[in-house]
Amino acid sequence: MDFAFSSDQDLLRETARNLLARECTPSVLRGHRDDPAAAAPLWNHLRDFSALGAGPTVDLCVFAEETGYVAAPGPFFATTALFQPVLGAIGSGLADRASTGEITGTVALAGADGFWTINKDRVKTFVLDADTVDVVALVEMSDGGGASVTLLEHPSARRVETIDSSRPVFEVDVTAGERIPVDADVVDALVARATVVLAAEMVGTARRLFDMSLQYAKDRRQFGVPIGSFQAIQHKLADMSLDLERAWSAVYYAAMALDADEPTAYRQRAVHVAKAAAGEAAKRAAKDGIQIHGGIGYTWEHDLHLFIRRAYASEALLGTTGWHHDRLGDLLFAKR
């Protein structure tokens, strides 16, 4: 058991952090809100890291933590965490082009209920970034009970407004096309992996909210002293940092479990734990973050809400905290 990063992983983190601090400022996020093209220059940098989608889960998590920290808009998550693994699962020739960043894609899988379990629903929901990617991979339950993938180039997609403009979501109608069969277990496994990557992103977003709140607590003065000297504020920040620390640890534990090919039940538990822990950390960082900021945190002009929006939207994506707890409950009660 070793939680230390390799020097390559440390370098990857540093590179990502520096690049994103420069290229993905809050003004890019605000610009992207009105015009998706504002995120195009960012993708020109991130495309160089597309090969992470086909590599170890831990490495992708390292990068995703940093994209989460800046709430990066654009197709990086959808392409690397969802689309590339689907291409890999069906042995598509597009896989190489996706891993060089030449094409982008997303996956349409969730049905009417919004959860990412394979289904036969005619409308797929929560399809990420469907307006900007090249290909939508439609995943459906086939009549025999297995699954199929259909690759659709620029299908029509309806935007569904959410609180979070940094990651727009769409509905895509099921349409005709070549159904390529795929093992349902393989699909479940790649959704599980994407869930861990999203959890890593959420830990990054939660850390941003925490860092902003901690700094504010040191800077802001009331009653002649920094508000961070008040015990009510100190204990909030202590609890926020605890949730963040354990979510971080749960995420990398799950990523290591996936990379090590541990037994299925063991992996499943680790994935549910990671996403639920990240959900708790993100929500706490968001709520307590606003409270610690007081009135300024309530304004549109302050950047805090950009990350709060991302935190709550991610918490609901790929299974809510409650859903993951319920799946964990099923596993615990199925035992023996």
Among 218, 222, 265, 299, binds another protein (CB under 8 A): 218
Among 27, 156, 222, 234, binds another protein (CB under 8 A): 234
Stretch that binds another protein, among 35-43, 64-72, 270-278, 295-303 (CB under 8 A): 270-278
For another protein, the closer CB: 170 or 323: 323
Task: Report the SS3 class of residue 300.
Answer: coil
* Both structure tokens of 110: 């969730």
245 touches another protein (CB under 8 A): yes
284 touches another protein (CB under 8 A): no
Residues in the interface with another protein (CB under 8 A) total 56
CA distances from 74 to 98, 118, 167, 311 (A): 15, 25, 7, 16
225 touches another protein (CB under 8 A): yes
DSSP 75: S
CA distances from 246 to 13, 150, 201 (A): 20, 38, 15
* Both structure tokens of 261: 């090919």
313 touches another protein (CB under 8 A): no
Stretch that binds another protein, among 80-88, 104-112, 173-181, 223-231 (CB under 8 A): 223-231
* C-beta atoms surrounding 7 within 10 Å: 8
For another protein, the closer CB: 98 or 278: 278
307 touches another protein (CB under 8 A): no
Residue type, 153: E
CA dihedral sign, ordered 83, 86, 92, 96 = positive
Stretch that binds another protein, among 104-112, 273-281, 282-290, 291-299 (CB under 8 A): 273-281
CA distance 25 to 234: 28
* C-beta atoms surrounding 217 within 10 Å: 19
Chain residues binding another protein by CB under 8 A are 1-6, 9, 58, 214, 217-218, 225-226, 228-231, 233-235, 237-239, 241-242, 245-250, 252-253, 255-257, 259-260, 262, 269-270, 272-274, 276-277, 322, 324-326, 328-330, 332-333, 335
